[in-house]
Amino acid sequence: MNSAANPRALAAQALAEIVAGKSLRATFAALSTKLPDTRDRALLSALLHTGARWWLHFDAALAAMLERPLHEREADVQALLVLGLVQIEILHLPEYAAVAATVEAVRALRRPAFAGLVNALLRRWLRERDRINAQLDADAVTRSAHPRWLLDTLAVDWPDMAQSIVAANNVEAPLWLRVNRRRGTREDLSGRLTAAGIVNEAPQALPDALLLAHSADVAHLPGYAEGLFSVQDGAAQFAAPLLDARDGMRVLDACAAPGGKSAHILEHADVELVALDSDPRRLPRLRENLARLGLRADIRAGDAADPKGWWDGRAFDRILLDAPCSASGIIRRQPDIKLHRRAADIDTLVSLQARLADALWPLLKPGGRLVYATCSVFAAENSRRIAAFLAAHADAGSLPVPFEWHAAGSGAQNLPGEGGMDGFFYAILEKYN
């Protein structure tokens, strides 16, 4: 057997690469094509997500059990061991079956010399886990599997909510759909899904949303190919309504790829939409998404912070700045953020967010509206950023965000898991006449 045929071995190699810096999402996308069976793909996804989510916990558990650390070139064995512990403790697979499958996977990795070590360590875990867990629980980093800088930032920004944010970050996110209201109603799609045995719910606060009880292979859901819906978290579905774009308006989505919010704007109103993104590699996905949904936009590659490269001089009625951010509100979906993001990144992101907002503001018509959005929970990227913007722009004011999220300066914040949704921030800025 080789690793390509064994999802656990494949997951171990991939997780080692993710820990070394590769993106989970891109790694999974590339690997899932090697697994034709949907159950194998689901297992690979579960292993990579839970492995990254709990790495800082179970890697420390291994360190507590190994007499000598494994060598760097044995990173795949280390990841396989973490995945063995994850299968036992988080995925709750039958314990001895998980041990046996992990030993089999070490052979699929062509590392039979480690079979004895893998077997012995996992069995030792089963005997000694209470003692080792007590040791891991003594430190917030290993207990919560969050890096220290992230825990410290949450404790400062959300002193009363930090623990619930951490808990929500460690739980798998539900699957949200957004109905393409140009192609059908939510009731019709809900009925088609129910008929296919897919349990779904229609939340009241979000007219286009359906919340699925279980994750699913989206491309195989009824109506996907026909463009009846998109995948989009509930929190992100507030962007288009907050922008309040009306028929005939000229609208800029300044950081548009892969087009989730552009599509929602176009589903709501007949607008002239410029969908801009600085990363040309992300534009084909945006094009595909709009084409599948039957929508059209003027798609451009360009740096939103440098409009002379792409702007034709015609002002916009509405601008959406869905800013590049720490993504600290979507750790439950992208748990590798815990492993990749560094405290120093935040200052760099805040400077970029400032440059983007400052450069886009002159492109907005007087009386126009700019919606600033992030999937971050950090005050530096959200409430403090908007306060600094308002202090620097005498012609800018903020409008209240009309729903019951946490007040965050002039904006509103949802924290991860609240309402079943991601962590998200919105501020609505208006340009005085």
CB 319 within 8 A of CB 242: no
- Specify the residue, 10 or 331, whose C-beta has the smaller distance to ligand SAM: 331
Tell me the window of 15-23, 77-85, 298-306, 329-337 that interacts with ligand SAM (CB under 6 A): 298-306
Residue from 208, 322, 336, 418 touching ligand SAM (CB under 6 A): that is: 322
- Specify the residue, 200 or 278, whose C-beta has the smaller distance to ligand SAM: 278
- Specify the residue, 51 or 258, whose C-beta has the smaller distance to ligand SAM: 258
Ramachandran angles phi, psi of 248, nearest 5°:
90, -10
Residue from 79, 151, 216, 304 touching ligand SAM (CB under 6 A): that is: 304
* Nearest distance, CB of residue 377 and ligand SAM, angstroms: 14
Tell me the window of 16-24, 112-120, 183-191, 277-285 that interacts with ligand SAM (CB under 6 A): 277-285
Among all chains, which residue has been given the structure tokens 């979507």? 330
Residue from 17, 104, 128, 303 touching ligand SAM (CB under 6 A): that is: 303
Considering the rule CB under 6 A, would residue 257 count as an interface residue with ligand SAM?
yes
* Nearest distance, CB of residue 25 and ligand SAM, angstroms: 12
CB 433 within 8 A of CB 381: no
* Nearest distance, CB of residue 225 and ligand SAM, angstroms: 20
Ramachandran angles phi, psi of 109, nearest 5°:
-75, 0
- Specify the residue, 76 or 277, whose C-beta has the smaller distance to ligand SAM: 277
The CA distance from 107 to 117, in Å, is 12
Residue from 93, 305, 315, 388 touching ligand SAM (CB under 6 A): that is: 305
Radius of gyration of the chain (CA): 23
- Specify the residue, 93 or 231, whose C-beta has the smaller distance to ligand SAM: 231
Strands 272-277 and 298-301: parallel
Q: Give me the catalytic one of 62, 81, 252, 375.
A: 375
Tell me the window of 23-31, 94-102, 250-258, 412-420 that interacts with ligand SAM (CB under 6 A): 250-258
Site string for ligand SAM, 278-297 (x = CB under 6 A): xx--x---------------
- Specify the residue, 255 or 271, whose C-beta has the smaller distance to ligand SAM: 255
Considering the rule CB under 6 A, would residue 272 count as an interface residue with ligand SAM?
no
* Nearest distance, CB of residue 261 and ligand SAM, angstroms: 4
List C-alpha distances in Å: 286 to 155, 256, 263, 293, 382: 37, 8, 9, 11, 26
Tell me the window of 158-166, 168-176, 252-260, 404-412 that interacts with ligand SAM (CB under 6 A): 252-260
The CA distance from 161 to 316, in Å, is 38
* Nearest distance, CB of residue 258 and ligand SAM, angstroms: 5
List C-alpha distances in Å: 192 to 109, 136, 178, 221: 43, 47, 14, 9
Task: Judge whether 325 counts as a catalytic residue.
Answer: no
Identify the sign of the CA torsion 353, 359, 362, 363: negative
Residue from 15, 276, 364, 386 touching ligand SAM (CB under 6 A): that is: 276
For the annotated catalytic residues, the residue numbers are 375
Residues at the interface with ligand SAM (CB under 6 A): 254-261, 276-279, 282, 303-305, 322, 324, 356
